[in-house]
Each structure stands twice: as structure tokens, then as C-alpha cells.
Amino acid sequence: TGAISSLQRQMEIQESKLRRIRSEKEILLKQLRQQEVQLQAVTDKFCSLTEEEKQKEMMVMMEEENRNLQEVVVEQESQLAEQSKLIIELQETVSQLRAEVVTTRLQLLEQKQAQKEIQSQAEALQHKELQTRVALERVSTKFERYRSKIIQATFSMEGIRDPSGELTDDEVLEAMQKIFNERMELQQMLKNKGSR
């Protein structure tokens, strides 16, 4: 937004310069027309003279006035050419600044769109995290119930002492392994006895 404001200020300055130069150009053109009118008036006046001396005097005056006017015309034409060139340059600068404003606005829109997408992804991730936590809690609850059933089944067997405190997973596995080994030994003994 700051970049756009800066570009717009530059553009307003350039357009103000452009208006001022165009106004100066109009003034110069007006002066040039006035001088052309004066030159025409002197020429008309000269044409109406009949006396030879007045004609000579007027000829000298006209030639001098004509030289002065031609110098002014040349100078003003040069100024007009410079101002026309400057007007073209200013118009190009204004066009460039407008293009930069459009580009900057497009970039801002793209950034806003990207921010919206990131926000949407973040919200989706938060929702997924919540779902995962709920699922994890369900699994943990099921695991604890299953573990309690295993402990209850394991330590309800004959010959197994009740635990004195809270059991670790390794202690539960060790107790189960002991029951399994004893059953295997019993089966083996029964098998041997049966074969005899």
C-alpha cells in the first residue's frame, strides 16, 4: 500500500508538470500568433504607403522588426520542440508509473490470496490435529482397558501373586511369559506321560 501511494504521488507530480508545460506551450503559441498579427499589421501598413522616403524608412523598420520577430519565432519554436519532447517523456513516465501501480496492486492481491490459502491450510491442519488427538485418546483408552483385562486375566491365575503396586508393561509381559512357559511344560509333561 505504501508503494502504491508513493507511485501515485510520483504520478500526480509528473501529471502536474505535464499540465504546467502544456499551459506554457499554449502561452508561447499565443505570443507567436500575436507577433504574427503584428508582423502582418506592419506589412499591411507598408503596403498602404505611397511616399518614397516613408517607404524606405518603413522598409528599414520592417526589416529590423522582421529580423527580431524571426529570432523570437526561432527561439519559441526551439522552446516548443523542447517542451514537446519533455511532454512525451512525461507521458511515458506517467504510463510507466501507472503500469507499476497496476503491477503492485496485482502483487498485493496475489499476496492476500496466498495468505488466505495459508490460513485455510492452517485451519485444516488444526482440525486434523484435533481429530488426531481425539482418535489418540480413544486408542489410549482402549489400550488401557485391554491392558487392564490382560493384567486381570494374568494375575487371576492360580499360583500367581497379586501385584503389590502399579505394574510396568515389562512386568506384565514377564508374568504372561511365565504362564505361557508353565503351560508349555505342562503340555509337554502330559504328552510324555501319554506316550508312555
Q: Specify whether 96 is located in the same domain as 160.
A: no
Q: Which amino acid type is present at position 152?
A: Q
C-alpha grid cell, residue 91: 507521458
On average, the pLDDT of the chain sits at 83
Q: Specify whether 140 is located in the same domain as 43.
A: no
Determine the structural domain holding residue 165 and report its residue range: 124-194
Residue 15: predicted pLDDT: 83
Phi, psi dihedral angles at 158 (to 5 degrees): -65, 140
Residue 138: predicted pLDDT: 94
Q: Specify whether 150 is located in the same domain as 68.
A: no
Report how far residue 38's alpha carbon sits from residue 17's, in angstroms, rounded to the nearest whole number: 31
* List of the chain residues with pLDDT < 50: none
Residue 158: predicted pLDDT: 66
Domain boundary among 119, 145, 160: 119
Q: Which amino acid type is present at position 10?
A: Q
Q: Tens digits of per-residue pLDDT, 169-188?
A: 787 788 788 888 888 888 88
Is the Cβ–Cβ distance between 154 and 179 less than 8 Å? yes
Residue 114: predicted pLDDT: 93
Residue 127: predicted pLDDT: 93
